Structure 1
């Protein structure tokens, strides 16, 4: 016979013995004392006053005669192992019966939580119905998660209230607060980068492909993730910066304004004409393909020293169609060639003697550079565009906070 069957049988036998003992012990005691038992007991006359007095006297005189009354501990002995087991079994059975009685409420609570979870997912995928959808993909994902969590939390609270376990909610929330405080201190840097990513997504100081300088690091923006900003340097290397650093750093964005100015300096001999030098240089700069006429080229005398005159020239380009480095290089080449043709010399640091020559032998001044454009390339630099495109495609799908077409979940 199995152990549970023996246990139930022993418990049932114990209960029956207790019932019989409860019924028989009073009768046995009455019979021992000589009291009538059964129907005759009701017909027997009550004891008179003398008999009562004699019984009282006997009970009073018993201690004096040397009789010893039993101790209280002897009357109520401590429960044995069987009695304790019976009490424990009764409690377990009562708990199981209570759990079985509360199963319908528990099932109803689980159904409420399941419905809340489904409703949270349904509503979060249709933010446009609530007019909560924005143009920022990351904010869409954040609002979606907040809405889903709020709906599921409401369902859990409703289920706990149905089970009369609202006190458990208070305990869980208190524990969650303590755990959240501990985790906040432990993962402070991660939380700081995450919050900085949210703020950068809201402000959007740059876009994918922009040429920026962040904390001295120059490169084109690949993607903005929840914890880091990915750049590609101009030599083709990937650079990851923490969002907290990016948020607090000084950001120089070259691409936000399509017009960008370039400049270069030329030093001429103090004996040369400043007006002639500047007019000649501005004419050469204005001839370059890619240099804007509004605003047009400009110039200034930067410095006048015994070593020479320093002239600085400025020009503007449209970065969407021209490359700044190429246009600047072409401007320097043309100005150098024009100065050589006009005999505008640079200051010499050493003295030298020039021997007189015949006018017939002297030919026209020669210059190693041609005085006209020679199909100079001033197009936008596309050296790392292919690598930049591959890096943007390799970014985690749905996690680029700067991409307007993504929808992270």
Structure 2
């Protein structure tokens, strides 16, 4: 306890003796952090104009900013008279790296994963991706995590190592996104005619792709009261990455299908539950 008090007293006396240098050191600290922030923005803007994936530029800018801030802190400590501390930091860098690497291995793992993601570029900003059941749009790649805006508006911070080690689904990398929905028809329905009506209705909806990505209808199951059909169609995500855009087309498709089936007198019944009572 006495040694701790002596060290505190030593640092206090050192600060008093070097008061002018301490004030100058604060100025150096503020200037250094300002340069780091400016350098971060400058690097982002320069790299954005030269690379396709803006997330890589942001990640590199964060690393450069972190290095400048670290150097600034070391200079500040040296400037105010704590040369012993900076010397020990530099001398013990190897041991410190080992200890930190062991204690914070998850942070180091996420950092390395971030570097790989930044240069491998499996996704870009605003791409719709899925990782470990988290589905959303990529907003930012940070040193430790990737920020994903889910389709219901939540901001999810996913560790970079999780994205790297788990299966990653990118729904927008090739510009195609498939939508689907289910509907049930009465067992007495003419399925061939119904499928034809559905396909024609979906195909006429603006935003739905045709040709090789034309709409498809398949029989999914024979339920208790209905024959369930699965309707599948494709959208061009290069036109818009907005979830509201995709949902608007999906809504219009479902409305058109319902109108077409009703117009052609097809029945879409509810599930029927038969309750029997037996007298004991």
Structures share a fold, TM > 0.5?
yes
Does residue 255 of structure 1 match 2:172?
Answer: yes
Q: Distance in 1 between matches of 2:178 and 2:217?
A: 12
Aligned to 2:214: 296
Aligned to 2:39: none
Q: Distance in 2 between matches of 1:338 and 1:141?
A: 54
Aligned to 1:223: 140
Is there any run of 5+ residues in structure 1 with no aligned partner, and where? Answer: 1-133, 147-171, 352-409
Q: In the TM superposition, what is the alpha-carbon distance from 1:289 to its structure 2 partner? A: 0.7
Summarize the Cα distance change of 1:338–1:140 in structure 2 as closer, same or farther, 3 Å threshold.
closer
Q: Taking structure 2 as the reference length, what is the TM-score of the superposition?
A: 0.59
Q: Distance in 1 between matches of 2:156 and 2:254?
A: 33
Q: Distance in 1 between matches of 2:91 and 2:112?
A: 24
Q: Distance in 2 between matches of 1:185 and 1:339?
A: 64
| Structure exhibiting the larger radius of gyration computed from Cα positions | 1
Q: Distance in 2 between matches of 1:279 and 1:176?
A: 71
Q: Distance in 1 between matches of 2:153 and 2:232?
A: 29
Q: Distance in 2 between matches of 1:341 and 1:318?
A: 29
Q: Deviations over 1:337-367 (max 9, x none)?
A: 122222211246379xxxxxxxxxxxxxxxx
Summarize the Cα distance change of 1:286–1:228 in structure 2 as closer, same or farther, 3 Å threshold.
same
Query: For 2:247, which of 325, 342, 345 is the aligned residue?
Result: 325
Q: Distance in 1 between matches of 2:99 and 2:199?
A: 66
Are the equivalent residues in 1 in contact too, given 2:62–2:142 (CA < 8 A)? no
SS of corresponding position for 2:174: coil
Q: Distance in 2 between matches of 1:281 and 1:194?
A: 50
Q: Distance in 2 between matches of 1:319 and 1:175?
A: 52
SS of corresponding position for 1:326: helix
Summarize the Cα distance change of 1:184–1:312 in structure 2 as closer, same or farther, 3 Å threshold.
closer
Q: Deviations over 1:233-290 (max 9, x none)?
A: 3344433222222222332222212111212222111111111111111111111111
Q: Distance in 2 between matches of 1:319 and 1:286?
A: 17
Q: Deviations over 1:132-173 (max 9, x none)?
A: xx9554569979x99xxxxxxxxxxxxxxxxxxxxxxxxx99
Q: Deviations over 1:274-329 (max 9, x none)?
A: 11111111111111111111221111122235522212222112123363322222
SS of corresponding position for 2:250: helix
Are the equivalent residues in 1 in contact too, given 2:135–2:150 (CA < 8 A)? yes
Q: Distance in 1 between matches of 2:90 and 2:253?
A: 69
Q: Taking structure 1 as the reference length, what is the TM-score of the superposition?
A: 0.42
Q: Distance in 1 between matches of 2:107 and 2:117?
A: 15
SS of corresponding position for 1:310: strand
Aligned to 1:342: 264
Summarize the Cα distance change of 1:248–1:292 in structure 2 as closer, same or farther, 3 Å threshold.
same
Query: For 2:229, which of 287, 299, 311 is the aligned residue?
Result: 311
Are the equivalent residues in 2 in contact too, given 1:223–1:231 (CA < 8 A)? yes
Aligned to 1:268: 185
RMSD of aligned C-alpha atoms? Answer: 3.1
Does residue 285 of structure 1 match 2:207?
Answer: no
Q: Deviations over 1:95-118 (max 9, x none)?
A: xxxxxxxxxxxxxxxxxxxxxxxx
Summarize the Cα distance change of 1:210–1:305 in structure 2 as closer, same or farther, 3 Å threshold.
closer
Summarize the Cα distance change of 1:307–1:195 in structure 2 as closer, same or farther, 3 Å threshold.
same
Does residue 208 of structure 1 match 2:125?
Answer: yes
Aligned to 1:192: 109
Summarize the Cα distance change of 1:317–1:173 in structure 2 as closer, same or farther, 3 Å threshold.
closer
SS of corresponding position for 2:261: helix
Aligned to 2:29: none
Aligned to 1:405: none
Are the equivalent residues in 1 in contact too, given 2:62–2:143 (CA < 8 A)? no
